[in-house]
Chain A
Amino acid sequence: KAGVTQTPRYLIKTRGQQVTLSCSPISGHRSVSWYQQTPGQGLQFLFEYFSETQRNKGNFPGRFSGRQFSNSRSEMNVSTLELGDSALYLCASSTGQANSYEQYFGPGTRLTVT
């Protein structure tokens, strides 16, 4: 089975721009979660999508948004980029079913905001 794929792997953007990141989950998985990883704050939960619906969200400003498509692929968008948004953005895939807890992470997208 193919793992979680994320594109692009690296991005350089300028302050004020917006960016869209993509995640394709493991085949058969219907849940996609997004995390931000920085040296200072560690791994922080952004939001989770299941069957095209946001089921859970973390404490990030509204500039961070996401969506999920009918094939379970997910995109994350960050508008009006700030220097502090520079981070590794990880998506994690799971079945999303009750009593199925395992999450599998992709390699991440390294975003640099200048």
Chain B
Amino acid sequence: QQQVKQSPQSLIVQKGGISIINCAYENTAFDYFPWYQQFPGKGPALLIAIRPDVSEKKEGRFTISFNKSAKQFSLHIMDSQPGDSATYFCAASIRYNFNKFYFGSGTKLNVKP
């Protein structure tokens, strides 16, 4: 059973546009929701993360929106650039489960120049 469901599987966006990736979860015990960016041949890099006590977190062009009642969270990439082309993973974890992260299936983003 997949604990975190991610969509879409792939996404094509024009340069300067907004990229939106969505994730949904079932386990209400999750209390940490990070997003990772992975380039080919590299390990995932922590991009931004949110805790369930806030509804939005922004870092530069990247924003996480969190809807606790709907058990959904999303990543918004503003002013998308070709350099943002990568695979993005959402994840969730439970504090007392010590770093056991459940990952979404990934979204391959292609930003066209």
Chain A positions near chain B (C-beta within 8 angstroms): 4, 31, 33, 35, 42-45, 48, 50, 55-56, 58, 90, 92, 94, 96, 98-99, 101-108
Residues of A contacting B34 with CB < 8 Å? Answer: 101-103
A48 to B98, CA, bound (A): 8
Instruction: Please classify the interface of chain B as helix (H, G, I), strand (E, B), loop, or mixed, using the class held by over half of its residues.
Output: mixed
Most buried by B among A33, A35, A43, A108: A43
Chain B positions near chain A (C-beta within 8 angstroms): 32, 34, 36, 41-46, 49, 89, 91, 93, 95, 97-106
Instruction: Please classify the interface of chain A as helix (H, G, I), strand (E, B), loop, or mixed, using the class held by over half of its residues.
Output: strand
Number of A-B contacts (CB under 8 A): 69
Is the beta-carbon distance between A102 and B46 smaller than 8 angstroms?
yes
Most buried by A among B34, B49, B95, B101: B101
In the A-B complex, the 8 residue pairs with the closest CB atoms: A105-B43, A43-B103, A101-B32, A55-B98, A48-B99, A56-B100, A105-B44, A56-B98
Residues of B contacting A105 with CB < 8 Å? Answer: 36, 43-46
A42 to B105, CA, bound (A): 6
Is the beta-carbon distance between B43 and A90 smaller than 8 angstroms?
yes
Q: A4-B43, A101-B49, A105-B44 are in contact. Are A42 and B99 (CB under 8 A)?
A: no
